[in-house]
Structure 1
Amino acid sequence: MRREAEAIGNLVEVAEIMPRIHALRDEGPVLKGRLRELLGLPLHERHARAAGRPHWTVLSFEAVEAALRNAAVFSNSVQGHDNPAGEKTMGILEMDPPVHRAYRRTIQPRFNMPEAMGWWREHTIDTIIERLIARMGRGDRADLNLDYCARIPVYTITTAIGLDGDEALRFRHAYLNSTSSSRTVTMEQRQANAKIVESTVLGLIARRRQEPKDDLVSFLITMKLLMPGEEPRALTDREIMAHVKLVMVAGGGTSWRQMGIALYALLTHPEQLAAVRADRSLVDDAVEESLRWYPTAPYFYRMVMEDTELYGHAIPKGAVLELGLGPANRDPARWERPDEYDLFRPKKTNLAFGFGTHRCLGMNVARVEINRGINALLDHFPNLRLDPEARAPFMTGGLEQQGVSGLPVLLR
């Protein structure tokens, strides 16, 4: 996390940001200007389409939720990359209704909770966790962040897609370096990596068209796109590829970091960890509170599609909203002691997975991965605790992406 943020000039000290966010929110739920500008941080363009446009920053729960509810005015199209063919390079992430709804329906059935608890667990999650637990169990120490949290979602997603281990690692590395804004990756390297991504996925799709298997690509080949006013049709290879790229990178990276944050929360709050050990029904509450406390992706952008008004601000068409999901999750108007991790706090919906049209596609799978992962650790290592001889873990990363520095633990 830290190296990635440093490479793009995006590093912040995560623990120091929230007091400054609270002070800004006290000035109003919506503020004119980029968040980085308001915090006095160096400029970093997260999305090419947002460059050069006026920005407004949204920091309260109520205002962020209102913007997420209104996809017609506040569009996710800001996430895309313009290209000569007009191809949706970010897939459903840059689409709006009704097109978004039509494409999402071709993949959503595989990510509903019954599928997460059934197909995903049986096909991938439980077996992967068992293998990782057995491997870690050979020693007395581990770094859960790398040895466990990073591997469960990446292996889960790649297995579900239908890629084998070496091919999956090659694909993930190539994809990250084909879209990277890192100053160490040249344009030629990005283009070369983009070719690897395309050849890997298109090759897999071609094999599955010839010989279907019980995987996500084979499932997508069978689905029909039901676009309003058009005849139902099968997805093209490039449409399937867009879905695959999205679930591979989003599912692998965000679930990894959020699982690490959930374990970091429990390991640094021993009394709450003890309560979870004694009553496993609290695992879901512990995970939800970690999502509220530190969502791994705390900021999202929206393009304003028409002149509008938001909490006293006249915002013109073409402007950009920076939505603070992380700040919204710590809004003192909604939560008492918002900066504290407390799994026993009254249950209220948080915005870690978004809200409305673009609510996280893979949230059910992520919840099952994290729940099963924590339960397995507590089953096999009842004395699990932070390693007192190692450097204490801390939150790190960029403003828009955060995770834990490491999770060095004693297993016994």
Structure 2
Amino acid sequence: MLDTADVLTADDPLYEELYDVRREAEAVGNLIDVAAVMPQVHALRAQAPVHKGRLRELLGLPPHERHSRAAGRPHWTVLSYDACEAAFRDPAIFSNSVQGHDNPAGEKTMGILEMDPPVHRAYRRTIQPKFNMPEAMGWWREHTIDTIIARLIARMAAGERADLNLDYCARIPVYTITTAIGLDGDEALRFRHAYLNSTSSSRTVTMQQRLENAKIVESTVLGLIARRREEPRDDLVSFLLGMKLQVPGEPVRPLTDREILAHAKLVMVAGGGTSWRQMGIALFALLTHREQLDAVRDDRALIDDAIEESLRWNPTAPYFYRMVMQDVAFRGHDIPEGAVLELGLGPANHDPSRWERPDAYDLFRPKLTNMAFGLGTHRCLGMNVARVEINRGINALLDHFPKLRLAPDAPAPFMTGGLEQQGVSGLPVLLR
């Protein structure tokens, strides 16, 4: 079996297929001109914190159905910070169940993403301990993150230039998550490729291909679970096999194989996707703001501030959705049970009532909580690991390539993607 680091640091055409933000948006049919629509979004937020209708309708954009459970339901769009925060902090009325996919068995195909308290809390407790900050700074960094960063830095050091999007940002999270779960190197990209081509959102594959890819996903993880039952190791699947689930009113029991499968799919796809794009956004912000990059280079204590500001400035997942569970009066609107809220985390992070010059990237601005990782019950499980990945990644680049800069002879990078997932077009740089 090939070493994971060998596979994930080698040239592989799958990286160009899987880690191209524009191509990713095209594949699910939601590509837009991000820069062109933001003035309209800001104007809507200035008019009112909440609007009736889908954001795409309000902007005059073609329809796109992100969640099958949202289809055919009335929508309201939430754009201010205060209104988004109020919705996030009331999961009893604004439910995350919209995330799921209906299936005959009634299985929670999206795991904790589609659960609400108290069931959500019970399931999250079986995996949360492995994602707390001490674990992120300890086990994750020592076990996975530092290893892949060192390998990638050595690989890039052989040349004069690189595309940090493909050569660096894409590889750190997928290696980190793959190794943590316990998959071997030659399974890593195959798993991610199969998962992304097994969902109903992919428009580039047939139904038969989706079913075939879904079988690859299940067989890969279920096979790993079976091996770890026989021979536990220091990985996430072995950890989950040792955890107990305590749902209120039910006997305490171990997680089933399919519950572990749901956890593993969520960690692999969310951790390997959002972290990749957000790391690219953080580097894009610094590389296009040279004075702030110089400040970070001289004082590494500023890196965490630079990361947090990149999260506020351009969160990679700027819109989340919630199902309304009962009739409710909300910010001047009577919203019926069964409606859907589109929560604009990106617009909320640019709310001028909370931040001065909100469209500017400024790592020195006063520190206030932003919504890039969500708030409340469903705040991002992997946010601590993502922060450590990005921090260690930027530190290593500045250590080894002090003259790092955008390549002047290459196309200038820009933000691209869909409303629901955004990232950088590329990061062509000179290393020396």
Q: Which residue matches 1:366?
A: 386
CA contact (8 A) 1:353 1:360 kept: yes
Correspondence for 2:321: 301
Identity %: 84
TM-score if structure 2 supplies the norm length? 0.95
Unaligned runs of 5+ in 2: 1-20
**CA shift for structure 1 position 182:** 2.6
Matches within 5 A, 1:4-403: 4-403=24-423
The amino acid of 1:174's aligned partner reads A
Cα distance in structure 1, aligned partners of 2:234 and 2:288: 40
Alignment check: 8 A CA contact 1:4 1:182 kept: no
Code of the residue aligned with 2:305 in structure 1: it is: D
Contact 1:202 1:237 in 2 (8 A): yes
Q: Partners of 2:93 and 2:52 in 1: how far apart? A: 18
Aligned residue number for residue 11 of structure 2: none
The CA RMSD measured in Å over matched residues stands at 0.6
Gaps of 5+ in 1: none
Q: Deviations over 1:133-181 (max 9, x none)?
A: 0000000000000000000000000000000111111111111100152
Conserved in 2, the CA contact under 8 Å of 1:29 and 1:311? yes
- Aligned-partner SS, 2:321: strand
Q: Tell me the CA shift for residue 5 of structure 1.
A: 1.4
Kept in 2, the 8 Å contact 1:177–1:189? The answer is yes
Structure 1 runs (4+) greater than 3 angstroms displaced: none
| Partners of 1:370 and 1:8 in 2: CA distance | 27
Letter in 2 for 1:399: L
Asked if the contact 2:311/2:372 (under 8 Å) is kept, the reply is yes
The answer as to whether partners of 1:160 and 1:216 remain within 8 angstroms in 2 is yes
Read off the aligned partner of 1:233 and give its amino acid letter: R
- Please give the alpha-carbon distance, in whole angstroms, between the structure 1 residues aligned to 2:396 and 2:302: 14
Distance (whole Å) between structure 2 residues aligned to residue 360 and residue 17 of structure 1: 26
Quick check: 2:196–2:202 contact (8 Å CA) kept in 1?
A: no
Distance 2:205 2:233 in 1: 36
Alpha-carbon displacement from aligned partner over 1:111-150 (angstroms, at most 9, x marks no partner): 0000000000110000110000000000000000000000
Give the match's secondary structure for 1:273. helix
Separation of aligned partners in 2, 1:299 and 1:26: 18
Q: Which amino acid aligns with 1:312?
A: G
The number of equivalent residue pairs is 412
Query: What secondary structure sits across from 1:182 in the alignment?
Result: coil
- Cα deviation digits, residues 50-97 of structure 1 (max 9, x gap): 000000000000000000000000000001000000000000000000
Give the whole-Å Cα distance in 1 for the aligned partners of 2:37 and 2:308: 22
Task: Name the amino acid aligned to 1:241.
Answer: L
SS at match of 1:190: helix
- The separation in 2 between residues aligned to 1:100 and 1:237, in whole angstroms, is 18
Q: Which amino acid aligns with 2:172?
A: I
Match for 1:141: what amino acid? R
Distance in 1 of aligned mates of 2:83 and 2:47: 14
The one-letter code sitting in structure 2 at the alignment partner of 1:196 is I
The alpha carbon displacement at 1:269 in A equals 0.3
Deviation of 1:7 after TM superposition, in Å, equals: 2.6
